[in-house]
Chains A and B, each alone.
Chain A
Amino acid sequence: MSQTIAAIATAQGGAGIGVIRISGDNAREVAARVFTPAAKKKSVLTAAGYTALFGRVYDKNGAIDEAVALVFAAPKSYTGEDVVELSCHGGSFLLQRVLAAVLENGAAPAQAGEFTKRAFLNGKLGLTQAEAVMDIISANGEQAARAALAAHDGALYHKLSGIVAELVSLSASLAAWIDFPEEDVPAVQIDALSAALNSCCAQLDVLIAGYNTTRIVREGIHTVIAGKPNVGKSTLMNLLAGETRSIVTDIPGTTRDVVDITVRLGSAVLRLSDTAGIRATDDPVECIGVSLAKQRLLQADLVLAVFDSSAELTDEDKQLTEAIGSTPAIAVINKSDLPTQIDRAYIESHYKHIVEISAATGSGYQQLTTLIEHLFALENFDPMKPVLANARQLNCARRARALLEEALGALSLTLDAVCVNIDCGLDALMELTGERVSDTVIESVFERFCVGK
């Protein structure tokens, strides 16, 4: 069995299309968990080699993108293993999300040069190709080494070193107690062990949760302004991007969404885009527009749902509310001078956060700012705090977290498995920092415990 790996196989940047390559014995299974073909009878699981399937990629929040899945059956693929390639629309944000979904569904992130390595292992690469790829691989290695070096000075390295030190200490205590049962090495206390493991888990949780915040700081909050026409979307737009506020430069092509403008709101960067209305329609063309709009609502980091205070809520308003699903959303009520007609109770029961704005006075700006900063935990964001920089690091942290969870689970069953799981967890963390584990634990045993005949 070869472990199934995945990575973005196309160059980073604003290309029109991006490919996620999944390779390994479970490539089809992994792909089938995130990709559903449009044709109901077809499946990546059963498709013949060299087949292309059109469909959608999903993560746990819903559809991410339309995609074409190309299925290659072993050994007729680049790596010689089963391979599925998902061709998506090529914004880095979108591709990262698809990759994240693939990794969450059983693939491990591919190391630099790993597809090529597997291709060699399986005898797929010829002489000239081998010559050419070798340079790229060593370049990748150097790049990785530089990145690891840079991380050495960073807050993340210090944070991880702390967790690693704690785990090494735990592992050494266990190893000493197990390997020197006849010495008076202090017995390992299960309660203390459990508490220490829980503390490491909690620290990892903070890092893992912080990954999203970091991404949002770096990429901005993908925000969809939604609402039926003439409800006040332009008022909101003006309020956010008014001449007095600074307009941050637009970055075209990084998402598939049409980003109208990027604005800074307090410490948050909003990447605003508009959507088509959400309404029931028989027009096939409009139908496509509506379903695209729905998809965007689900993919967004934030929806600003705009309502007019002077009008009664329509079916379209309610369909919008339903379409938002679990995406974080703020109801923005545009106050006009006309008498209030809106069903406030409905809004309050469907939106956790409500902000009123007024074009006349410009009020609501500060409230919206505070609310968004709070929603994305940006008010306390400290750039000096440790952050995981990419999907690989996130995956290492998650793997370590899962192994420590295993270790906790084994506490009541068998200590040898606790020990092995802690060591594997350490391996995962040290993969992040580029160190090795086994010798560290043994060194620590001899430093800390007086053992031996």
Chain B
Amino acid sequence: MVEYLAAEYDVAVIGAGHAGCEAALAAARLGCETVLFSLSLDAVANMPCNPSIGGTAKGHLVREIDALGGEMGRMADKTLIQSRMLNRGKGPAVYSLRAQIDRVRYHNEMKHLLERTEHLIVKQAEVVEVRKAQDGILLEAVTRLGAVYRCRSVIVSTGTYLNGKIYVGECSYPSGPDGCQAATHLTASLNRLGIATRRFKTGTPARILKSSIDFSKLEEQPGDEPIVPFSFETKLPLRNVVPCHIVYTNERTHEVIRQNLHRSPLYGGMIEGIGPRYCPSIEDKVVRFSDKERHQLFIEPLGLDTEEMYLQGMSSSLPEEVQVKMYRTIKGLEQVQIMRNAYAIEYDCCNPLDLLPTLQFKQVNGLFGAGQFNGTSGYEEAAAQGLIAGINAALYAKGKEPLLLDRASSYIGTLIDDLTTKGCQDPYRMMTSRSEYRLLLRQDNADKRLTPIGYSLGLISEERYQAFVEKYRQVDEEIARLDKVIVAPSEAVNALLVSRETAPLSTGARLSELVRRPQVSYLDLAPFDEHRPPLTDDVIEQVEIEIKYEGYIKRQLAQVESMRKLEHKALSPDTPYQEISGLRLEAREKLLKVKPLSIGQASRISGVSPADISVLLVWLARGQK
């Protein structure tokens, strides 16, 4: 192949899925000249699996992406067709937004935004090689047509495209997701750079024709009103315009699956890739939970301009004819027509233990990884990493200090710490239970946690930042006021308290004490609070949560404080663990592998004991003298 030097950029992003889009936008917005490659421009920001964004912990991630200055939240608000707040009644820390998205509109809007973004060019091309330039510092991305792009940093966000292989029953063939071509050359060049790859797999259910579904037999699931937007910037009211529906598998469905298990590539041993535990195929569910009489499924529309429907919960790699048979056993789907069949897909990804918490590879300065390529799963997990990789690639290109988010700051920080400290054995999905600080990492206060960081980076506008500052000024002022105002016992207030099954007042009480009672809300107390200022709902929400959960919040803050002390003890990736006497052999090996950036991160590596940490601290103290 004849090569030619096509252009020089600060940052190149390989792959324009949810990670790549956030990465490219962040880098360009930080002023870096950025190029974003996609195998097909018609697949930019595609949703090859479920047409939805958010869910437990994932909704948190989207709010955090938005708070930090990313795009996914705004884009989801712009294109959502139904929204729900999950987990109401289970505590504010686990309230989670989930929205059905118009898939084609999401793609169109995101592509158009990329095209209009200053410092950013989007190109359709397959990158077949990433290598070091002759100077040993710059990197080069080479396309299939021989164009060489010389860059300061490169982000690999290739999703499931790298050596992608689709499996449907006995049939398998090289392919990317959703009918796109696979990227077949890049892996080898990454391996040459010392980056090992492995095979993961995932799967998706069939898309079915709306008119072939008998909705009269199905249970409808409407959206929640009013809709809480993902973005802290979205002010316009949003509308639910479509319902989803719930269906169930039955014994006949399971029978069809069991009879054809030998034709499944997974059970037949054809697939070597490791699938996600949380996203099992229907075959997996039937085999592993054989005592379950039925499995719940959702029918979700793919958008407003299509009759395609997504069948959530029914991913499969059984042969096409078996899929048809299996789907038709379901009540309401007796006549169902499949438009796109279900499949499993296997792809190359890296081991995230090769990444620093900046998402830069330890082996190659300036080379970053993001999204499914890093071993995760989910659009939101991908976008979160894309944003951080984009920011850090830009900071690297400018020769600035990288951005590190710790576990107590965000789910994004937790996700990256888990990946780069513990690694993952199967595609990693975010869950609220992964955060030990989840009472602090609520979706409602993502702005408080991250917007100042986004602002100082330059990803949050001055106007938005001032609005943010004003919001929390009002929150603080109102909490202070409620602490001062005394409510005297009266018939009216006691009638309210008794009706809520809480103790009436015999002496005066502070308003804050009444708000603290679980049975009483801030709004309930309006009649007894004559000087109450007019406040917006989001201010009231913060006031109420901060008062009601003060005890829990304070305790978690104390935990964070003690954790951060170790987090701020920096370790160099070049720390000579072999030479530090006193470290146990296992700890030494793990430390060499992970190369933690702080004592805190080191202490979370499995196989590193408190005694090893003490030894490291001693070693550090000696070095400083």
For residue A279, CB closer than 8 A to chain B, the reply is: no
A112 with B439: in contact, given A413-B518, A442-B431 (CB under 8 Å)? no
**Which residues of chain A from 107 to 157 have any CB-CB distance to chain B below 8 Å in the complex?**
111-113, 116-117, 120-121, 123, 125-127, 130-131, 133-135, 137-138, 140-142, 144-145
Beta-carbon contacts of B258-301 to A below 8 Å, as 1s and 0s? 00000000000000000011111000010011001001101000
Q: Which of B87, B548, B614 contacts A116 (CB 8 A)?
A: B614
Q: Which of B288, B292, B614 contacts A137 (CB 8 A)?
A: B614
Contact A416–B285 (Cβ < 8 Å): no
A438 with B56: in contact, given A127-B625, A137-B614, A417-B91 (CB under 8 Å)? no
Residues of B within 8 A of A171 (CB): 433
Residue of A nearest to B517 (CB): A413
For residue A178, CB closer than 8 A to chain B, the reply is: yes
C-alpha gap A123/B569 in the complex (Å):
12
Beta-carbon contacts of A432-453 to B below 8 Å, as 1s and 0s? 0000101101100110001111
Contact B432–A178 (Cβ < 8 Å): yes
Residue of A nearest to B298 (CB): A182
Residues of B within 8 A of A145 (CB): 609, 611
Contact B94–A178 (Cβ < 8 Å): yes
C-alpha gap A177/B439 in the complex (Å):
17
Residues of B within 8 A of A59 (CB): none
For residue B438, CB closer than 8 A to chain A, the reply is: yes
C-alpha gap A354/B414 in the complex (Å):
64
C-alpha gap A414/B292 in the complex (Å):
30
Q: Which of B276, B433, B581 contacts A441 (CB 8 A)?
A: B433
A269 to chain B, nearest CB (A): 36
A446 with B278: in contact, given A181-B87, A420-B552 (CB under 8 Å)? yes
Q: Which of B92, B94, B569, B582 contacts A134 (CB 8 A)?
A: B582
Q: Which of A141, A142, A177, A180 contacts B614 (CB 8 A)?
A: A141
Contact A179–B433 (Cβ < 8 Å): yes
Residues of A within 8 A of B280 (CB): 450, 452
A419 with B433: in contact, given A130-B622, A450-B280, A450-B285 (CB under 8 Å)? yes
For residue A3, CB closer than 8 A to chain B, the reply is: yes
Beta-carbon contacts of B567-594 to A below 8 Å, as 1s and 0s? 0010000000000011000000000000
For residue A2, CB closer than 8 A to chain B, the reply is: yes
C-alpha gap A133/B298 in the complex (Å):
62
C-alpha gap A254/B582 in the complex (Å):
35
For residue B549, CB closer than 8 A to chain A, the reply is: yes
C-alpha gap A227/B606 in the complex (Å):
61
C-alpha gap A142/B618 in the complex (Å):
17
For residue B116, CB closer than 8 A to chain A, the reply is: no
B524 to chain A, nearest CB (A): 16
A194 to chain B, nearest CB (A): 16
Contact B611–A140 (Cβ < 8 Å): yes
A181 with B562: in contact, given A144-B611, A452-B280 (CB under 8 Å)? no
Contact A423–B611 (Cβ < 8 Å): no
Contact B433–A415 (Cβ < 8 Å): no
Contact A184–B296 (Cβ < 8 Å): yes
B contacts with A, residue count (CB < 8 A):
66
C-alpha gap A423/B432 in the complex (Å):
12
Contact A127–B622 (Cβ < 8 Å): yes
Residues of A within 8 A of B549 (CB): 414, 417
For residue B315, CB closer than 8 A to chain A, the reply is: yes
A133 with B432: in contact, given A420-B438, A453-B279 (CB under 8 Å)? no
C-alpha gap A452/B558 in the complex (Å):
35
C-alpha gap A420/B551 in the complex (Å):
13
Contact B94–A121 (Cβ < 8 Å): no
B391 to chain A, nearest CB (A): 27
Contact A121–B565 (Cβ < 8 Å): yes
Main secondary structure of the interface of A (DSSP, over half): helix
Contact A179–B610 (Cβ < 8 Å): no
**Which residues of chain A from 1 to 27 have any CB-CB distance to chain B below 8 Å in the complex?**
1-3
Q: How large is the interface on A (under 10, 10 to 19, 20 to 34, 35 or more residues)?
A: 35 or more
For residue A217, CB closer than 8 A to chain B, the reply is: no
Residues of B within 8 A of A121 (CB): 565, 569, 617
Residues of A within 8 A of B55 (CB): 182
Contact B433–A178 (Cβ < 8 Å): yes
Q: Which of A138, A178, A413 contacts B611 (CB 8 A)?
A: A138
Contact A445–B433 (Cβ < 8 Å): yes
Contact B312–A453 (Cβ < 8 Å): yes
For residue B436, CB closer than 8 A to chain A, the reply is: yes
C-alpha gap A183/B249 in the complex (Å):
13
Contact B610–A111 (Cβ < 8 Å): yes
C-alpha gap A111/B613 in the complex (Å):
12
Which of the listed residues A142, A412, A453 has the most CB atoms from chain B within 10 Å of its own CB? A453
Residues of B within 8 A of A423 (CB): 433, 436
C-alpha gap A23/B312 in the complex (Å):
56
C-alpha gap A182/B315 in the complex (Å):
16
A417 with B552: in contact, given A141-B614, A178-B56 (CB under 8 Å)? yes
Beta-carbon contacts of B430-461 to A below 8 Å, as 1s and 0s? 01111010110000000000000000000000
For residue B57, CB closer than 8 A to chain A, the reply is: yes
Residue of B nearest to A184 (CB): B296
Residue of B nearest to A175 (CB): B433
Residue of B nearest to A448 (CB): B289
A401 to chain B, nearest CB (A): 16
Residues of A within 8 A of B56 (CB): 178-181
Residues of A within 8 A of B93 (CB): 414, 416-417, 420
C-alpha gap A423/B93 in the complex (Å):
15
For residue B615, CB closer than 8 A to chain A, the reply is: yes
A47 to chain B, nearest CB (A): 26
Residues of A within 8 A of B86 (CB): 181-182
Which of the listed residues A116, A415, A416 has the most CB atoms from chain B within 10 Å of its own CB? A416
C-alpha gap A62/B551 in the complex (Å):
32
Contact B91–A1 (Cβ < 8 Å): no
Q: Which of B312, B439, B562 contacts A416 (CB 8 A)?
A: B439
C-alpha gap A133/B277 in the complex (Å):
46
Q: Which of A138, A413, A418 contacts B582 (CB 8 A)?
A: A138
Contact A117–B614 (Cβ < 8 Å): yes
A251 to chain B, nearest CB (A): 32
> What are the nearest 6 A-B pairs in CB distance?
A141-B611, A416-B91, A416-B93, A414-B91, A175-B433, A450-B289
A–B complex contacts, Cβ < 8 Å, 14 sampled: A113-B614, A120-B620, A121-B617, A134-B615, A145-B611, A183-B313, A413-B548, A415-B91, A417-B93, A418-B91, A420-B439, A450-B288, A452-B277, A452-B278
Binding site for B on A (CB under 8 A): 1-3, 111-113, 116-117, 120-121, 123, 125-127, 130-131, 133-135, 137-138, 140-142, 144-145, 171, 175, 177-184, 410, 412-420, 423, 436, 438-439, 441-442, 445-446, 450-453
A181-B56, A452-B276 are known; give 4 further A-B pairs, CB within 8 A.
Answer: A130-B621, A134-B618, A416-B90, A439-B422
